[in-house]
Structure 1
């Protein structure tokens, strides 16, 4: 069950990453390495590796990784809300 929850949170994080990159936010213009296609790919690889690591550690019996990835997903949710609502 924990792996399914992690996978669902991973899908949310990938969607958040895509929404930020497609938002056209002025902050992205200040970070050209992050807004380029190369930066976008690097970010997705990082998201994937984080999800994979959490899933592997959870599969080995370490349940704290689910909570950590949940906090990471919640922080991403707050960040995307701030970015898309133009509060930052």
Structure 2
């Protein structure tokens, strides 16, 4: 069950990541310039994938603490996405 929950949170994280990446927000555009020279154009997605793979690995082993930590990470991403897309920042 932890594996499925982490996978669904990972899908949500990638969806939020894409929405923010395509938002055109000045902070996001500045961040893209940081990643672009080294990992064109998907460097931030690689980091997101690494986090998801780690969470899935530990969830497969039954680690509730890591699944909860990944849940907190997803919640923080949701708040940050809402702030950026709603223009509150």
TM range (shorter): 0.7 to 0.9
Alpha-carbon contact 2:13-2:77 (below 8 Å) kept = yes
Paired residues, number? 87
Give the C-alpha shift of residue 9 in structure 1. 0.3
How far 1:27 moved relative to its partner? 1.6
Shift, 1:68, TM fit: 0.3
C-alpha contact (below 8 Å) 2:3/2:60 kept by paired residues: yes
Where has structure 1 moved over 3 Å in runs of 4 or more? Answer: 36-40
> What is the alpha-carbon distance in structure 1 between the residues aligned to residue 2 and residue 42 of structure 2?
27
- Corresponding position: 1:16 with 2:16: yes
Tell me the TM-score normalised to structure 2 length: 0.87
Q: TM-score, normalised by structure 1?
A: 0.88
Counterpart in 1 of 2:46?
A: 45
Matched, 1:59 2:67: no
CA distance in 1, matches of 2:40, 2:83: 21
- Residue deviations 1:51-87 (CA, integer Å, cap 9, x gap): 1111111212221111000000000000000000111
